[in-house]
Amino acid sequence: MSEPGKRLIVGPFNRVEGDLEVRLTIEEGRVARAEVVSTLFRGFERMLSGRDPLDALVFVPRICGICSVSQSVAAARALNVLSGKPMPINGERALNLVHAAENAADHLTHFNLFFMPDFTREAYVSRTWHGDVVTRFAPGSGVAQRAAVKARAELLHIMGILAGHWPHSLAIQPGGVTKAPDAQERVRLMAIIAGFRRYLEAEIFGGDLEAFLALESREALAAWCVARPNSDLARFMACARDAALGTLGVGTDALLSAGAYDLAGEALFAPGLLRRSRLSPFNPDGIVEDVSHAHMVPGEAKHPFEGETRPDGRLEAAGYTFCKAPRLDGHPVEVGALARQVIDGQPLVRALFEEGGANVETRVMARLVELARLAGVMDRFVRDMNVKDVFFDPAKLPEAGQAAGFCEAARGTLGHWMVVKKGVIANYQIIAPTTWNFSPRDAAGIPGPLERALVGTPVTEGEQAPVAVQHIVRSYDPCMVCTVH
């Protein structure tokens, strides 16, 4: 047993995107209190002030190298609202395709490079699956890691064709995408997506994706895994059972999705807020950002249109992180693939969620289910694409106005709020997925979602970086560079 009130500081917390420190108070072998700390501030919101509104599309993708297209999409959506002109439908299909490709690549990166390597640790050396998992997921040498890196690079050829390159493309604009593909390029896109599907079926799922997506219960999932012991899905489920991932990192019953892949105003993955089993529409008017525990100059919690980013230069404020605390109707919410798939009603994810709520296992499973769905989603966008039509129609922006743009990054809901005055950006505020998930406490002392999910986590005597804590933190697929921006 650990001594009462023992402090443990875990950092640099790697295999997350960006800089993270987690401070734990351990009592009687369990986490009693957690503080999640973002240790890097860059100030993108300040950089954007005074610039041409379209210049946001140069800056915002560079907030994050892993959610780059998501950042562009949120800004392009906000600018599109400002322009008041609908995006050409084929431009919107192409925009959704490059966005889906980034999200699929990110899910693949998370599973193979960020999450699974924790099961290769010494702590698990006595488990029957350990040797196999080391062969698959040892950092740099694991055969699954190598196959994933190759499949990811080939998938991202979609970016080479439609977006110039990845990350940091200027192809994504309020008026659509700047590349009008021809028939031959459309065929190539189809071939790339088909190749990606073959990879997923062979390496991760061990079978037909549509058959996998037809599963609706834990029993059916278990039977699928028994029949396919050489799939990485079955390997994950074996690790999950053994390490009791279904009991770790249990979150609050408040999930949010802004809805993903809008086409002519209709989201392919439905938006919504699920709180205490009740589904309601997503209303961004109820969002505020609280700075009471951030290294920010003290002030009232404000809606992002009125929001400010004024870091405390002396680092003397009461805060412990550079992350602000976003709240929706006064509450923290969890965002991510789990929220998207539960809110969209995906049968298997729903079934697992109803059984155990938001936890490490359901977060990772939701990501895998979404990965399987994205192969079909991408294919549909390409097949529906009319390569004789317009993909870009320049947007005319007003001299003054304000607008918000939303999208779903791989790791959850991303919002941009932009105020334009005299033809230039007067205020720009961003709330990223991990700003929600890894937010600090608010003025009422309510902890952020991860801070709460860590409480009660078992810590073995002598553990410096408790492995259960690592599973929980990485189950959110955090992106720390987006978090503070």
Site for other proteins in 436-465 (CB under 8 A): 464-465
Backbone angles phi, psi at 25, to 5 degrees: -110, 125
Structural tokens at position 397: 């922006």
- CA-to-CA dists, residue 361 to 55, 251, 297, 377, angstroms: 40, 12, 38, 24
Binding mask 257-296 for other proteins (x = CB under 8 A): ----------------------------------------
| Interface with other proteins (CB under 8 A), residue from 27, 30, 33, 39 | 39
Q: Which residues pair with 33 in a beta bridge?
A: 25
Around 220, how many Cα atoms within 13 Å sit in the side-chain half-sphere? Answer: 12
- Restricting to residues 171-200, which ones interact with other proteins according to CB under 8 A? 171, 173, 177-180, 182
Q: Which of 123, 129, 132, 149 binds other proteins (CB under 8 A)?
A: 149
Q: Which three-class secondary structure string do you get for 94-114?
A: HHHHHHHHHHHHHHHHHHHHH
C-beta neighbour count of 46 within 10 angstroms? 13
The rounded distance, in Å, linking the Cα atoms of 238 and 241 is 5
Distance CA 483, CA 109 (A): 19
Task: Using CB under 8 A, pick the residue from 51, 85, 218, 275 that binds other proteins.
Answer: 51
The CB-of-482 to other proteins minimum distance in angstroms stands at 9
Q: Whose Cβ is closer to other proteins: residue 169's or residue 475's?
A: 169
Maximum distance among all Cα pairs of the chain, rounded to whole angstroms: 70
Which of 164, 356 has the CB closer to other proteins? Answer: 164
Shortest approach of other proteins to residue 118 CB, angstroms? Answer: 8
Alpha helices in 200-300 (DSSP H): 209-213, 218-227, 232-242
Q: Give residue for tokens 């599907």.
A: 197
Question: Which one of residues 121, 218, 241, 331 is an interface residue with other proteins (CB under 8 A)?
Answer: 121
Contact 363, 336 (CB under 8 A): yes
- Tell the smallest beta-carbon distance from residue 214 to other proteins (Å): 32
Residue 425, classified by CB atoms within 10 Å of its CB into exposed (0-12), middle (13-18) or buried (19+), is buried
CB atoms within 10 A of CB 406: 24
What region does 184 belong to: left with phi over 0, alpha with psi -120 to 50, or beta? alpha
Q: Which stretch binds other proteins (CB under 8 A): 37-45, 256-264, 407-415, 441-449?
A: 37-45
Q: Binding other proteins by CB under 8 A: which of 4, 5, 6, 9?
A: 9
| Closest alpha carbon to 466 in 4, 13, 3 | 13
Select 179 or 228, whichever has its Cβ closest to other proteins. Answer: 179
The answer to whether residue 40 forms part of the interface with other proteins (CB under 8 A) is: yes
Q: Is 17 in the site for other proteins (CB under 8 A)?
A: yes
Minimum Å gap between C-beta 164 and other proteins is: 2
Neighbours of 274 (CB within 10 A): 19
Choose one: 140-148, 201-209, 261-269, 374-382; the region binding other proteins (CB under 8 A): 140-148
Among 5, 6, 46, 211, binds other proteins (CB under 8 A): 46
Chain positions 224 to 263 lying near other proteins, rule: CB under 8 A, are none
Nearest CB to other proteins, comparing residues 162 and 343: 162
In the block, tokens 């690549």 appear at 105
Least separation in angstroms between CB 252 and other proteins: 25
Work out which of 47, 258, 348, 459 binds other proteins, going by CB under 8 A.
47
Contact map string, positions 298 to 327, toward other proteins, x by CB under 8 A: -------------x-xxx------x-----
In eight-state DSSP terms, residue 201 is I
What is the C-alpha separation between 223 and 214, in angstroms, rounded? 13
Residue 35 in the binding site for other proteins (CB under 8 A): no
Size of the site for other proteins (CB under 8 A): 87
- Among positions 4, 5, 84, 154, the unique one binding other proteins when judged by CB under 8 A: 154
What is the C-alpha to C-alpha distance for residues 481 and 29, in angstroms, rounded to an integer? 32
In the complex with other proteins, which residue's Cβ is closer, 259 or 448?
448
For the bound state, the minimum distance from the C-beta of residue 88 to other proteins, rounded and expressed in Å, comes to: 10
DSSP-derived secondary structure for 327-388: EETTB--EESHHHHHHHHT-HHHHHHHHHH-S-HHHHHHHHHHHHHHHHHHHHHHHHH--TT
Our CB check for other proteins shows the closer of 295 and 327 to be: 295
Q: Of 112-120, 200-208, 375-383, 411-419, which segment contacts other proteins by CB under 8 A?
A: 112-120
Q: Which is nearer to other proteins, 42 or 303 (CB)?
A: 42
Asked if 31 and 469 touch (Cβ cutoff 8 Å), the reply is: yes
Closer CB to other proteins, 126 or 464, in the complex: 464
In angstroms, the CA 244 to CA 315 distance is: 40
Instruction: Tell me the closest approach of the beta carbon of residue 140 to other proteins, in angstroms.
Output: 5
> Minimum distance from CB of 161 to other proteins (Å)?
5
Of 305, 308, 310, 309, give the one whose Cα is nearest residue 419.
305
* Residue from 10, 26, 258, 338 in contact with other proteins (CB under 8 A): 10
Residues 393-412 close enough to bind other proteins by CB under 8 A: 394
